Amino acid sequence: MKTIEKYSIGTGDRFGRQGLAQIAAFKKARDKGVSAAIVWNKSNREHNLIGTQPADQRAAADRAIKESGWDGSYHVDADHVGLATVDRFAPHCDFFTLDVADFIGKAADPGLVEAFLKKHADLPSAKGLPAALDAAAMRAAAVRYLFAVGEAAKTYRRVRDLRGLGPRGEDDFVTEVSMDETETPQSPAELAVILAALADEGVPVQTIAPKFSGRFNKGVDYVGDVGAFLKEFDADVRVALWASTAFGLPKSLKLSVHSGSDKFSLYKGIGAIIRKEGAGLHLKTAGTTWLEEIVGLAESGGDGLAMAKEVYRAAYDDIDEVVAPYATVVDIDRGKLPSPDAVDKWEGPALVAALRHVQSDPRFNPSMRQLVHVGFRVAAKMGGRYLDALAKHEASVSRNVTLNLFERHLAPLFIA
């Protein structure tokens, strides 16, 4: 089985131009003694909105690795795929995020539920289980999640069939199971039941993405009770560590946090917990890189600044369409969005300060930032013109991409 490193970050790269700048951030982390794998993730939805293919993502990743000479580990993630969408990803990816959130709560075969409860009758009283579970809660969790687990297993087997086996007759890919894109969080006890069921189905899950409590809006900080989140996260970490041994799941099993980018108020606490428990972590923070492209363009002034303003205007004008696919994960106060005509009169530093995620800066505008976060499709529509601007202002863009990934993400998470 291809094994994921203890620490890894899903960086994403919407337009496939920031690989070198992202790798530079991982080099900085390595200079500080922290090894982390870089995972280029792009969801089916993002490919569809931008008009790219999984092969493009693979080519961009391989090119960046070759050009940089980076010898650390890296993966390409088929992010949020299911049975209906996985096929086109299979040849190009070595990390598969099997998203079964839509199947949560679908009625599982009663016979399967009874067999599961019988097999795992001892689970509530299992030695060391780091979560409170009784027979009734276990039955409720089995009824709620077994169908979704079955769907994950089908998708996993589909990937296996399409990719064949690695040189030692094992999987040549990393399997993640995600249940984060749903309304109701999973408790640590439910996580234990889900992991038991995945083990029963023979899914060698290495990263598991539950839905955590609180709001994970796109491009802005966590909204919720940080202390309560960290308590829940700590319990989830211990459940995952315990389950890897108890159910014979891979030793590399760890939590995956689909952050929606930039959950700065959580990072130090998350880092402290994983170091305390000796646990690994996968954290996806994909859209933050696209936002830094816009910040970098604005900072470079001239036609770079004009391009950043044009992107804002297009996103603003198309706000309903741009926001629709992400409606449940943004909280944009439309009254706080300046008009594009007003923004056109701004100097570069004003636009940079509005978009750059520095919460202590009174000019920072979370509504603008969320709108631009989900507005990448307007840049895709500009096609070559947008990519040319990135190339022309590469120095400013890559400086911002590297600094953001290292100083705001890798360092607070992984450097004590």
Instruction: Please report, as ranges, the residues that interact with Zn ion according to CB under 5 A.
Output: 180, 258
CB of 71 to Zn ion, least distance (A): 29
- The DSSP secondary structure of 327-375, one letter per residue, reads GGG----GGGSPPHHHHHTS-HHHHHHHHS--TTSTT--HHHHHHHHTT
Tokens 């189905």: give the residue: 201
Nearer to Zn ion, 180 or 299 (CB): 180
Positive or negative: CA dihedral 77, 83, 87, 91 = positive
CB of 13 to Zn ion, least distance (A): 16
Torsion angle defined by CA atoms of residues 115, 120, 121 and 125, in that order, rounded to the nearest 10 degrees = -170
CB of 83 to Zn ion, least distance (A): 17
CA atoms of 221 and 260, how far apart (whole Å) = 9
Residues contacting 272, CB < 8 A, separation 6+: 416
CA atoms of 321 and 402, how far apart (whole Å) = 30
Residue type, 280: G
Nearer to Zn ion, 189 or 283 (CB): 283
Nearer to Zn ion, 245 or 328 (CB): 328
CB of 337 to Zn ion, least distance (A): 26
Nearer to Zn ion, 180 or 293 (CB): 180
CB of 414 to Zn ion, least distance (A): 21
Which residue's CB atom is positioned nearest to Zn ion? 258
CB of 142 to Zn ion, least distance (A): 24
Nearer to Zn ion, 180 or 232 (CB): 180
Nearer to Zn ion, 258 or 356 (CB): 258
CB of 113 to Zn ion, least distance (A): 27
- The DSSP secondary structure of 264-290, one letter per residue, reads HHHHHHHHHHHHHHT--EEEE--HHHH
Nearer to Zn ion, 100 or 141 (CB): 100
End-to-end CA distance of the chain: 31
